Amino acid sequence: MARIRVQNLVKAWGDFRAVDDIDFETNDGEFVALLGPSGCGKSTTLRLIAGLDQATSGQIFIDDRDVTQVAAAKRNLALVFQSYALFPHLSVADNITFGLSVRGVPRAERERRLEKTASLLGVTALLGRKPSQLSGGQQQRVALGRALISEAPVCLLDEPLSNLDAKLRAEMRNEIRTLQQRLGITMVFVTHDQTEAMSMADRVILMKSGKVEQCGTPAELYENPASTFVAGFIGTPPMNLVAAAPKDGRLAVAAAASSDLVLGVRPEHIEFAGEGQEAVVAGSEYFGADTVVACRIGEQKLMVRVPGRPGLGTGAQVRLAWAPSNEHAFDARSGLRKSA
């Protein structure tokens, strides 16, 4: 069991700060997602925790032990690389036991743990093969095996699913989650895919330009986004963010696209109703279970997600309504949430 604590962590290359003064803490056995668009510093943060890069300043603690200056191999953690980094000249068995053999674990012990790990991951039949003879999903399992056999209390995963096809990705998502809960280890994984983060993680750390934008449970990020960035990043399609004007103690969509107030409302929370703001249908996308209808109010565009097929053609007149509790107000200049 282990907790990771990151304090005032900075990684700079010249004037560019890839990781800019971030703080967060994970709990024992927690599954944490580092989420963000590419170039936001999430992978760099993971590399700093792993010890593959040296922090410019700040500290990293694992179980209250300051590991900032400790070599990667001595931090008692495992890492699954995005490219898997399997040794092409070694068999699956030798790849998995590489760390044990390097650390001089006796052969009998190695074989016992190999057997256990291989059956856990379902790669027993592949032990004699070389990495080039494996499919992407199998390579992923072997990479996981190499990380898990060390029995380190912390396991870091860098974009673990990005090299897999859609079907396999959904399967592995489940499997990694199950493994993490079964083994009770702390897992931190990097992803740019918000559905991955939302569906797998206990807690999501959303990053932007080297800073932590919001840190919380998936539900917190979805229900109470701290900024327009979070609101626009989480959800498919993301939250509608439009210029707003106060009206009767609530917010209404302003006709003009500029205002110092931003209204946020999720597409799935808007409905076509008998009364509400008037809008014109500008187009729609049909997904089977639901349809996303693009509507226009003056210069502004809103997405509306409705179940089934609403049968609205372009140019149809509709009225949009949503519950007051689904209304989010943000400051237009800072992008931050306005407390009610």
Partner 1 sequence: MSMTGHRTMLYSALLLLPATVLLWVFTYQPIFTTILNSFYSTPRGRRPSVFVGLENYETMIADPIFWKAMTNNLIYALTTIPFSIALALAMALLVSANLRGKGLMRMAFFTPTVLPMVAVANIWLFFYAPDYGLIDKFLGLFGMGGNNILGSVETALPAVIAITVWKEAGFFMIFYLAGLQQISPTLIEASRLEGAGFWQTLWRVQIPLLMPTTLFISINAVIGAFRLVDHVVAMTKGGPDNATTLLLFYIYQNGFAFWDTAYAAALTVVLLAILAAIALFQFGYADKRVHYR
289 contributes a contact to partner 1 by CB under 8 A: no
Site string for partner 1, 147-186 (x = CB under 8 A): ---x------------------------------------
Question: Which C-beta is closer to partner 1: that of 85 or that of 120?
Answer: 85
73 contributes a contact to partner 1 by CB under 8 A: yes
Question: Which C-beta is closer to partner 1: that of 157 or that of 253?
Answer: 157
Indicate the angle between helix axes 107-121 and 136-148, nearest 10 degrees: 140
* Separation between Cα atoms, residue 218 and residue 206, nearest integer Å: 10
323 contributes a contact to partner 1 by CB under 8 A: no
* Interface region with partner 1, contact rule CB under 8 A, candidates 57-65, 79-87, 192-200, 258-266: 79-87
85 contributes a contact to partner 1 by CB under 8 A: yes
Decide if 112 contacts 91 (C-beta within 8 A).
Answer: no
- Kindly determine how many residues on this chain lie close enough to bind partner 1 according to the rule CB under 8 A: 22
Question: Which C-beta is closer to partner 1: that of 51 or that of 238?
Answer: 51
Q: Which of 102, 108, 166, 340 binds partner 1 (CB under 8 A)?
A: 102
Cα end-to-end span (Å), the chain: 39
Among residue numbers 28 through 57, which ones bind partner 1 (CB under 8 A)?
50-52
For residue 32, is it left (φ>0), alpha (ψ between -120 and 50) or beta?
Answer: beta
Query: In whole angstroms, how close is the CB of 159 to partner 1 at the nearest point?
Result: 12
Q: Which of 11, 42, 113, 146 binds partner 1 (CB under 8 A)?
A: 146
Phi then psi for residue 41, to 5 deg, are: 100, 10
Residues with Cβ within 8 Å of residue 67, at least 6 apart in sequence: 51, 60, 61, 74, 75
- Cα 6 to chain centroid distance, Å, stands at 18
Q: Which of 29, 37, 58, 99 binds partner 1 (CB under 8 A)?
A: 99
- The DSSP letter of residue 305 is E
Question: Which C-beta is closer to partner 1: that of 90 or that of 280?
Answer: 90
Whether the bond between 237 and the residue before it is cis, its omega within 30 degrees of 0, is yes
Phi then psi for residue 228, to 5 deg, are: -65, -30
Q: Which of 27, 28, 66, 89 binds partner 1 (CB under 8 A)?
A: 89
103 contributes a contact to partner 1 by CB under 8 A: yes
Q: What is the dihedral of CA 248, 252, 257, 262, to 10 degrees?
A: 90
Amino acid in the structure at residue 7: Q
Question: Which C-beta is closer to partner 1: that of 100 or that of 215?
Answer: 100
340 contributes a contact to partner 1 by CB under 8 A: no
Rg of the chain in Å (alpha carbons): 24
Question: Which C-beta is closer to partner 1: that of 162 or that of 259?
Answer: 162
* Interface region with partner 1, contact rule CB under 8 A, candidates 96-104, 165-173, 212-220, 308-316: 96-104
Q: Which alpha helices (DSSP H) does the chain contain, by range?
A: 42-50, 92-96, 98-102, 107-121, 136-148, 166-183, 194-200, 218-223, 228-233
Q: Which of 88, 274, 288, 324 binds partner 1 (CB under 8 A)?
A: 88
Question: Which C-beta is closer to partner 1: that of 72 or that of 306?
Answer: 72
Query: In whole angstroms, how close is the CB of 44 to partner 1 at the nearest point?
Result: 14
Nearest CA to 188 out of 175, 171, 170, 176 is that of 176
87 contributes a contact to partner 1 by CB under 8 A: yes
**Interface residue list for partner 1 (CB under 8 A):** 50-52, 72-73, 78-79, 81, 83, 85, 87-90, 98-99, 102-103, 130, 132, 146, 150
